[in-house]
Protein backbone atom coordinates (compact mmCIF):
# COMPACT_ATOMS: atom_id res chain seq x y z
CA UNK A 1 0.00 0.00 0.00
CA UNK A 2 1.12 3.55 -0.67
CA UNK A 3 2.28 5.67 2.23
CA UNK A 4 -0.26 8.41 2.82
CA UNK A 5 0.78 12.07 2.63
CA UNK A 6 0.82 12.77 6.38
CA UNK A 7 3.13 9.79 7.09
CA UNK A 8 5.74 11.30 4.75
CA UNK A 9 6.33 14.27 7.07
CA UNK A 10 9.54 13.81 9.05
CA UNK A 11 8.10 13.79 12.55
CA UNK A 12 11.60 13.72 14.06
CA UNK A 13 12.23 17.27 12.84
CA UNK A 14 8.68 18.59 13.23
CA UNK A 15 8.12 21.47 15.65
CA UNK A 16 4.90 22.85 17.07
CA UNK A 17 2.97 25.13 14.73
CA UNK A 18 0.46 25.45 11.90
CA UNK A 19 1.29 23.47 8.75
CA UNK A 20 -0.43 22.70 5.44
CA UNK A 21 -1.03 18.96 5.64
CA UNK A 22 -2.78 18.39 2.31
CA UNK A 23 -4.81 19.95 -0.43
CA UNK A 24 -7.81 18.46 -2.19
CA UNK A 25 -8.58 19.22 -5.80
CA UNK A 26 -11.75 19.21 -7.86
CA UNK A 27 -11.67 16.26 -10.27
CA UNK A 28 -13.14 18.23 -13.14
CA UNK A 29 -11.62 21.71 -12.87
CA UNK A 30 -8.39 20.73 -11.09
CA UNK A 31 -8.73 23.67 -8.73
CA UNK A 32 -7.92 23.33 -5.05
CA UNK A 33 -11.16 23.11 -3.12
CA UNK A 34 -9.97 22.46 0.45
CA UNK A 35 -6.83 22.81 2.56
CA UNK A 36 -6.14 20.59 5.58
CA UNK A 37 -4.03 22.19 8.32
CA UNK A 38 -1.94 20.37 10.90
CA UNK A 39 -2.25 22.30 14.17
CA UNK A 40 0.65 20.70 16.00
CA UNK A 41 0.52 21.43 19.72
CA UNK A 42 3.27 19.02 20.86
CA UNK A 43 6.65 18.09 19.41
CA UNK A 44 6.17 14.49 18.22
CA UNK A 45 7.88 11.85 20.37
CA UNK A 46 9.78 14.53 22.28
CA UNK A 47 7.27 15.69 24.88
CA UNK A 48 4.16 14.29 26.57
CA UNK A 49 1.04 14.23 24.40
CA UNK A 50 -2.31 15.84 25.26
CA UNK A 51 -4.42 13.73 27.62
CA UNK A 52 -7.66 12.37 26.19
CA UNK A 53 -10.08 14.36 28.36
CA UNK A 54 -8.56 17.74 27.47
CA UNK A 55 -8.15 16.70 23.84
CA UNK A 56 -11.89 16.00 23.86
CA UNK A 57 -12.73 19.35 25.47
CA UNK A 58 -10.56 21.24 22.96
CA UNK A 59 -12.45 19.43 20.20
CA UNK A 60 -15.81 20.57 21.62
CA UNK A 61 -14.64 24.17 22.18
CA UNK A 62 -12.80 24.51 18.86
CA UNK A 63 -15.65 23.08 16.81
CA UNK A 64 -18.16 25.30 18.61
CA UNK A 65 -15.99 28.37 18.01
CA UNK A 66 -15.50 27.70 14.30
CA UNK A 67 -19.13 26.73 13.63
CA UNK A 68 -20.30 29.97 15.22
CA UNK A 69 -17.72 32.28 13.69
CA UNK A 70 -19.19 34.99 11.48
CA UNK A 71 -16.82 34.26 8.57
CA UNK A 72 -15.38 30.79 9.25
CA UNK A 73 -18.67 29.01 9.91
CA UNK A 74 -19.00 28.93 6.11
CA UNK A 75 -15.36 28.05 5.49
CA UNK A 76 -14.91 25.19 7.97
CA UNK A 77 -15.25 21.61 6.72
CA UNK A 78 -13.87 19.77 9.76
CA UNK A 79 -12.02 20.14 13.06
CA UNK A 80 -10.82 17.16 15.08
CA UNK A 81 -7.95 15.59 17.05
CA UNK A 82 -5.07 13.48 15.74
CA UNK A 83 -4.94 9.90 16.97
CA UNK A 84 -1.36 10.45 18.21
CA UNK A 85 -2.73 13.24 20.47
CA UNK A 86 -0.06 15.77 19.48
CA UNK A 87 -2.52 18.10 17.75
CA UNK A 88 -5.58 18.68 15.59
CA UNK A 89 -6.60 18.82 11.96
CA UNK A 90 -8.72 21.63 10.64
CA UNK A 91 -10.02 21.66 7.07
CA UNK A 92 -11.01 24.95 5.45
CA UNK A 93 -12.52 25.48 2.00
CA UNK A 94 -10.21 26.92 -0.63
CA UNK A 95 -6.53 27.09 -1.52
CA UNK A 96 -4.76 28.44 1.56
CA UNK A 97 -1.32 28.92 3.11
CA UNK A 98 -0.46 28.72 6.81
CA UNK A 99 -0.11 32.50 7.03
CA UNK A 100 -3.71 32.88 5.74
CA UNK A 101 -5.09 31.14 8.84
CA UNK A 102 -2.83 32.44 11.62
CA UNK A 103 -5.39 35.05 12.71
CA UNK A 104 -8.34 32.65 12.90
CA UNK A 105 -6.28 30.00 14.72
CA UNK A 106 -5.07 32.61 17.23
CA UNK A 107 -8.65 33.78 17.72
CA UNK A 108 -9.74 30.19 18.34
CA UNK A 109 -7.02 29.58 20.95
CA UNK A 110 -7.82 32.85 22.75
CA UNK A 111 -11.46 31.71 22.89
CA UNK A 112 -10.42 28.33 24.33
CA UNK A 113 -7.81 29.56 26.84
CA UNK A 114 -10.25 32.14 28.25
CA UNK A 115 -13.39 29.98 28.09
CA UNK A 116 -15.67 30.03 31.14
CA UNK A 117 -18.90 28.14 31.69
CA UNK A 118 -20.36 24.84 30.59
CA UNK A 119 -18.49 22.86 27.95
CA UNK A 120 -20.67 23.01 24.84
CA UNK A 121 -22.20 19.65 23.91
CA UNK A 122 -20.98 17.88 27.06
CA UNK A 123 -24.22 16.07 27.81
CA UNK A 124 -25.40 12.51 27.12
CA UNK A 125 -27.68 13.53 24.28
CA UNK A 126 -25.01 15.46 22.35
CA UNK A 127 -21.80 13.47 22.93
CA UNK A 128 -20.65 9.85 22.90
CA UNK A 129 -18.55 10.07 26.07
CA UNK A 130 -19.72 13.25 27.75
CA UNK A 131 -18.08 12.73 31.16
CA UNK A 132 -14.61 12.40 29.64
CA UNK A 133 -13.85 16.14 29.64
CA UNK A 134 -11.33 18.41 31.38
CA UNK A 135 -11.89 22.13 30.93
CA UNK A 136 -9.14 23.27 33.29
CA UNK A 137 -6.49 21.31 31.41
CA UNK A 138 -7.98 22.24 28.00
CA UNK A 139 -7.53 25.88 28.98
CA UNK A 140 -4.00 25.19 30.22
CA UNK A 141 -2.98 23.44 26.97
CA UNK A 142 -4.61 26.19 24.86
CA UNK A 143 -2.85 28.96 26.78
CA UNK A 144 0.51 27.18 26.56
CA UNK A 145 0.24 26.69 22.78
CA UNK A 146 -1.04 30.24 22.26
CA UNK A 147 1.71 31.94 24.28
CA UNK A 148 4.67 29.70 23.45
CA UNK A 149 3.93 29.03 19.77
CA UNK A 150 1.18 31.15 18.19
CA UNK A 151 2.51 34.44 19.59
CA UNK A 152 6.01 33.58 18.46
CA UNK A 153 5.62 31.97 15.02
CA UNK A 154 8.73 31.46 12.92
CA UNK A 155 9.22 29.82 9.51
CA UNK A 156 9.86 26.45 11.21
CA UNK A 157 6.40 26.71 12.83
CA UNK A 158 4.64 27.33 9.50
CA UNK A 159 6.42 25.14 6.93
CA UNK A 160 7.05 21.40 7.24
CA UNK A 161 10.71 20.34 7.55
CA UNK A 162 12.29 18.70 4.48
In the three-class reduction of DSSP (H, G, I as helix; E, B as strand; rest coil), residue 54 is classed as: helix
The residue number with the shortest CB distance to Zn ion is: 127
Rounded to an integer, what distance in angstroms lies between the CA atom of residue 77 and that of residue 122? Answer: 21
Report in angstroms how near the CB of residue 89 gets to Zn ion at its nearest: 16
How many other CB atoms are found less than 10 A from the CB of residue 27? 7
Shorter beta-carbon distance to Zn ion: residue 49 or 127: 127
Strands (E), 2-154: 17-25, 32-40, 76-81, 87-93
Stretch that binds Zn ion, among 29-37, 44-52, 86-94, 121-129 (CB under 5 A): 121-129
Binders of Zn ion among 12-51, rule CB under 5 A? Answer: none
Q: Which is closer to Zn ion, CB of 6 or CB of 121?
A: 121
**β partners of residue 18:** 39
**Between 48 and 124, CB nearer to Zn ion:** 124
**Residue closer to Zn ion, measured from CB, 32 or 122:** 122
When asked if residue 127 is in the footprint of Zn ion (CB under 5 A), the reply is yes
Binding site for Zn ion (CB under 5 A): 127
Amino acid sequence: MEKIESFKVNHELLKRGIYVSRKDYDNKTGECIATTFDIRMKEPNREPVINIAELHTIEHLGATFLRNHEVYKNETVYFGPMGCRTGFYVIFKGDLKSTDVVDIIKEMFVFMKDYEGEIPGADPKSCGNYLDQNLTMAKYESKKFYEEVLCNLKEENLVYPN
